Amino acid sequence: MTASSATAITSVKGRRVWDSRGRPTVEADVTLAGGALGRAIAPAGASRGSHEAIDLRDGGPRFGGWDVTEALRQINGAIARALGGLDAADQDAVDAALIALDGTPNKANLGGNATIAVSMAVLHAAAAAAGKPLWRHLWDRGGNSGTPVLPLPEIQIFGGGAHAGRRIDVQDFMVIATGADDYDQALAWTAEVYIAAGKIMAERGLLQGVADEGGFWPAFDANEDAAETLLRAIEKAGLKPGEQVAISLDIAASEFGRGGRYRLAREDRGMSSGELAEMLLGWVGRYPIVSVEDPMAEDDPEGFIAFAAAAPKHLQIVGDDFLVTSADRVRAAARDKTVNCALIKPNQAGTVTETKAAFDAAQAAGLGAIVSARSGETEDVTIVHLAVGWGARQLKVGSFTRSERMAKWNEGLRVADALGTAALPPKSAFPWG
């Protein structure tokens, strides 16, 4: 059997599985003529950019409207027919077929959940047919030489916004082990901070539960209280704030802002984009904050430009809802100097090829790139392999608890063993380096 016939797609099957919120999601199996099998599961976001690929959900009363029988019908019907016989080794051609079959800019016909599950499953099948782990398949296919490094983890400690009943307005208070020597140490330091934060919260009677991404669901009176408590947790863990472990924020401002106006419900406070920027940059001055994601709403590019112009040089400014893993939007952001880093989420784009195009656009423009999970996740570990195989410098998965998160951090440890090194990118690769 020739290599080309061995990698021909012979079947595509979708099934309903369940994500970390107990909601239905889509899993796809892709089988090749040579017997190789690829499998992947679509994640789901709660805080979503208006221009990202649409999840196809059934609506109605069943499972709160979240069921995916229509998305599965598309996989097992139109998608299976369209991809039958295509070469799984040609990811661009497979994804082009999916894009053409859907025919919309946001995967509204097939569902972005259907297309990304199938697209990632094809990628896994091609790697299996090549007899390589996915990260190696991607690294080799990219024409790279040498040994890849592990991405620097960005890990949530406190959840808020849409991930925690809006108990606080800011969506994520995270840590980055900026001083870690390797991936294993970055995880170990984060574990100590997470434990210390839990002890502080318990002592103060501030625990309310666990947020969607596994972080603590806090009962803070004000948003800044979370930054102050996180600083104390780093210190309580015996680590040096800003030197060994720094703070990262996901503001997710589209969740509480529109038209250049913002409202912090926790503090019953209305703000202009300038006032929001002043508040956030004040935090940057008072705390060891090295990264701020979506400091302004997606419809406020002027606010982004002003924020970036006023921010200190060491600050990483990340676009998520603002960029929605779109190569065109990434290039525009680089041109307009709105952000210096792009968040890369495969299900925002809907196919692996479009995701990689956004990643490549960021690299070409000199922007950073963070491969990221979503708030609704599963045991699927594809993004870890994408991050390593593409050479991404950072990985954002959620917190340091719950198996859908730990599966991904632990996969990084297995990749490190396979590489024979847990090396991280050099500190000079980051704005704060």
Residues 166, 170: Cα–Cα separation, whole Å: 8
pLDDT at 206: 79
Q: What is the CATH number of domain 152-429?
A: 3.20.20.120
Q: How far is CA 164 from CA 20, 116, 175, 214, 317, in A?
A: 14, 26, 18, 10, 23
Residues 193, 233: Cα–Cα separation, whole Å: 6
Beta bridge partners of 176: 154, 246
pLDDT at 1: 42
Torsions phi, psi for 392 (to 5 deg) = -70, 145
pLDDT at 163: 47
Q: What is the full per-residue pLDDT of the chain (433 aa) written as tens digits? A: 444 689 999 999 999 999 999 999 999 999 999 999 999 999 998 778 889 999 999 999 999 999 999 999 999 999 999 999 999 999 999 999 999 999 999 999 999 999 999 999 999 999 999 999 999 999 999 999 899 999 999 999 999 875 445 668 999 999 999 999 999 999 999 999 999 999 999 998 877 678 778 888 877 888 999 999 999 999 999 999 999 999 999 999 999 999 999 999 888 899 999 999 999 999 999 999 999 999 999 999 999 999 999 999 999 999 999 999 999 999 999 999 999 999 999 999 999 999 999 999 999 999 999 999 999 999 999 999 999 999 999 999 999 999 999 999 999 999 999 999 999 999 999 999 9
Residues 314, 262: Cα–Cα separation, whole Å: 26
Q: Which of 52, 213, 298, 377 is catalytic?
A: 213
Listed by start position, the domains of the chain span: 3-131, 152-429
Torsions phi, psi for 24 (to 5 deg) = -65, 145
Residues 151, 383: Cα–Cα separation, whole Å: 11
What is the DSSP track for 263-325? EEGGGTEEEEHHHHHHHHHHHHHHS-EEEEE--S-TT-HHHHHHHHHHS-TT-EEEESTTTTT
User: For strand 289-293 and strand 394-399, is the pairing parallel, antiparallel, or unpaired?
Assistant: unpaired
Residues 409, 248: Cα–Cα separation, whole Å: 18
Q: How far is CA 433 from CA 243, 308, 392, in A?
A: 10, 18, 16
User: For strand 261-264 and strand 246-250, is the pairing parallel, antiparallel, or unpaired?
Assistant: unpaired
pLDDT at 281: 98
pLDDT at 212: 79
pLDDT at 218: 79
For residue 341, the SS3 value is: strand
Q: What is the CATH number of domain 3-131?
A: 3.30.390.10
For residue 262, the SS3 value is: strand
CA 398 to chain centre: 8
Output the CA torsion sign for 380, 383, 386, 389. negative
Token pair recorded at residue 283: 């935090």
Residue 345 appears among annotated catalytic residues: yes
Residues 382, 397: Cα–Cα separation, whole Å: 11
Output the CA torsion sign for 344, 349, 355, 361. negative
Residues 171, 162: Cα–Cα separation, whole Å: 7
Token pair recorded at residue 318: 């990340």
pLDDT at 207: 74
pLDDT at 164: 47
* Cβ neighbour number for residue 209 with a 10 Å cutoff: 12
Q: Which of 107, 345, 356, 408 is catalytic?
A: 345
Residues 38, 49: Cα–Cα separation, whole Å: 29
**Residue 131 CB contacts under 8 Å (≥ 6 apart), including other chains:** none
Residue 213 appears among annotated catalytic residues: yes
Asked if 386 and 349 touch (Cβ cutoff 8 Å), the reply is no
